[in-house]
Amino acid sequence: MKSVLDALPDVIMPDAVREADAASIPLVRPDDHDLVRPLAEEELPSATRRGSLMGADTAPLSRHLVWTFGPSHRALPFPLQLRVELSGERVLTVDPEIGWSHQGLERMLEFGTVDEGFGLLARLHPTTPLVPQLLWAHLWETILDVVDEVPARVCWLRVAGLELSRVVAHLDVLRALAEVYADRLAQQIFTDAHKACARALWTLQGEANFCAVGGMRDALDDSALTALEDELQAALVGVGQMHEQQLRNVAFVDGLGGRGVISIRNLLDHGVTGPALRASGVRDDVRRRHPIFAYDALEPALVTQQDSDALSRATQRLQELSDASRMVLQACHEARRADPSLGTLLDVDDKPLPPGRCAVSLEAPNGEMAFFVDVDANGKLRRTRLRTPSFALAQCLPHFLADAHLDDVVPILLGLGMVGTAIDC
């Protein structure tokens, strides 16, 4: 009988006996010496190189676990790594490491033009790039003192884009949670709705072209708006019915209820905002605190939960999703009634930038996103700073995961909706 070994004589097959006799490879404790990165990740590949952990001493593994999340690439050790200290299967401490994949976006923005910044910022949040791009536009409109000159139709359409981004981001989290608990019906409904809404968002971005300071580049006719409304309403019919059903789903409620509980104090201490903060009962929303574009006329609903666990955060997203879709429809309706002007586009890069500094923020799907720029006396961009909600969430992971069961770590992580590219920008 021919086998793989006949065709590929140099193939290396696992040798179970030899591996069983191999010396164990203990994982070292995290080392917090100043500016010295722990070497635990150096040990893990040597364990996995043999194809399995057979023969390894299980005692160290039961106390310490180095857990790598995200896509892997040979040039990068890990996108997110959790060094977990365990007691049995219960998490005692967590030390997150966010990898070495620093993108240098801030530096690239300083060297590039304002227009180039729109393209660069799309990397910050690949699925909903409109959020950082619109904040970038608002930042420069604030510096140039032309916020009031942006036409009403543009403001309404920007709000529609932001809220549609929120719908897409929330659906993305909910479908991932449904997948974890093998809730096929919910998974199907959320996935279908996510696809349809992402398609609608893509169409809106493509046809309107929001990447401009002072207005929009391309006109978006009323028929396109009507099509967007119809698509959104059709996509969310199932989700609306899902709400009550999801809350009665035993697997969902038991799987998320009481998991990942965190105190308000820890959330505020670590700068966590958005759905995670509101799920603990804090009535905080940047859209109401500092309404930009047309948010003051829309009055976003301020819904909150009380339990501050993973179930509350999922419920919070479900409820925000319905309010966000309501705002998209209302914004489209108002945009149709508004003057069709696209505004006067400002060519910021044509002349030296106005000296000064500016910090603005908006409510991204995961919380408060803040941008800061400083322009020197020569009109040269001296400093650009991007602060994303995912950075705060990643830093707060030890508190979200404290005392969690190992099985609960993945659902808790997925429920936070962190965006890896936004953590180390």
Partner 1 sequence: MTDVPDAPAPDERDTAADAVSDVDGVADGPKATQNPHHLVELLRQRRRHLRLLDTGVDSWGETLCVAADDLLHVLAFLQADPDADLEVLVDVVCIDHHEDSDEAKASDVDDDENRFEVVYLLRSVRLPYQLSVRVFTSSEHPQVPSVTSLYPSADWLERELYELFGVYADGHPHLRGLLLYPDFVSHPMRRDYPRGKAQPMVPLRTPQHLPVVVTDLPVDDTGDAAQDAS
- Contacting positions for partner 1 (CB under 8 A): 1-2, 4, 6-8, 10-12, 32-37, 45, 49, 74-75, 77, 98, 100, 102, 104, 106-107, 111, 142-143, 263-265, 268-271, 273, 280-285, 288-289, 302, 304, 357-361, 368, 370, 372, 374, 376, 382-383, 385, 387, 391-392, 394-395, 424
- Closer to partner 1 by Cβ: residue 17 or 36: 36
**Which of 205, 384 has the CB closer to partner 1?**
384
Instruction: Output the smallest distance, CB 297 to partner 1, in A.
Output: 15
The residue written with tokens 């990643």 in the block is 394
Task: Tell me the sheet residues that pair with 370.
Answer: 361, 387
Question: Could you tell me the smallest distance in angstroms from the CB atom of residue 32 to partner 1?
Answer: 5
Q: End-to-end CA distance of the chain: give it in Å, rounded.
A: 55
**In 10 A of CB 209, how many CB atoms?**
15
The values of phi and psi at residue 23, to 5°, are -65, 150
69 Rama class: left (phi>0) / alpha (psi -120 to 50) / beta: beta
**Shortest separation between residue 86's beta carbon and partner 1, angstroms:** 21
Q: Which is nearer to partner 1, 207 or 284 (CB)?
A: 284
One-letter identity of residue 273? T
How many residues appear in the chain?
425
Partners of 96 in the β-ladder: 82
Q: Looking at beta carbons only, is 204 or 394 nearer to partner 1?
A: 394
How far is the C-alpha of 312 from the C-alpha of 305, rounded, in Å?
6
C-beta of residue 300 within 8 angstroms of C-beta of residue 323 = yes
Type and span of the H or E element at 105: helix 105-111
Residue whose CB is less far from partner 1, 199 or 383: 383
3-state SS, 230-280, equals HHHHHHHHHHHHHHHHHHHCHHHHHHHCCCCCCCHHHHHHCCCCCHHHHCC
Taking Cα atoms as reference points, which of 235, 300, 247 lies closest to residue 274? 300
Return the number of the residue (13 or 345) whose C-beta is nearest partner 1.
13
Among residues 49 and 351, whose Cβ is nearest to partner 1? 49
State in angstroms the smallest separation of the CB of 376 from partner 1: 8
Distances in whole angstroms, Cα of residue 220 to Cα of each of 38, 74, 234: 53, 43, 21
Minimum Å gap between C-beta 340 and partner 1 is 30
Q: Tell me whether residue 104 or residue 258 sits nearer to partner 1 (CB atom).
A: 104
Q: Beta 356-364 vs 90-97: how paired, if at all?
A: unpaired
CB of 407 to partner 1, least distance (A): 27
For residues 378 and 362, give the distance between their C-alpha atoms in angstroms, rounded to a whole number.
Answer: 29
Q: How far is Cα 30 from Cα 343, in angstroms, rounded to an integer?
A: 55
Q: Is 24 or 266 the residue whose CB approaches partner 1 more closely?
A: 266
Min CB(287)–partner 1 separation in Å: 9
Provide, rounded to whole angstroms, the least separation between the CB of residue 229 and partner 1. 28
CB of 264 to partner 1, least distance (A): 4
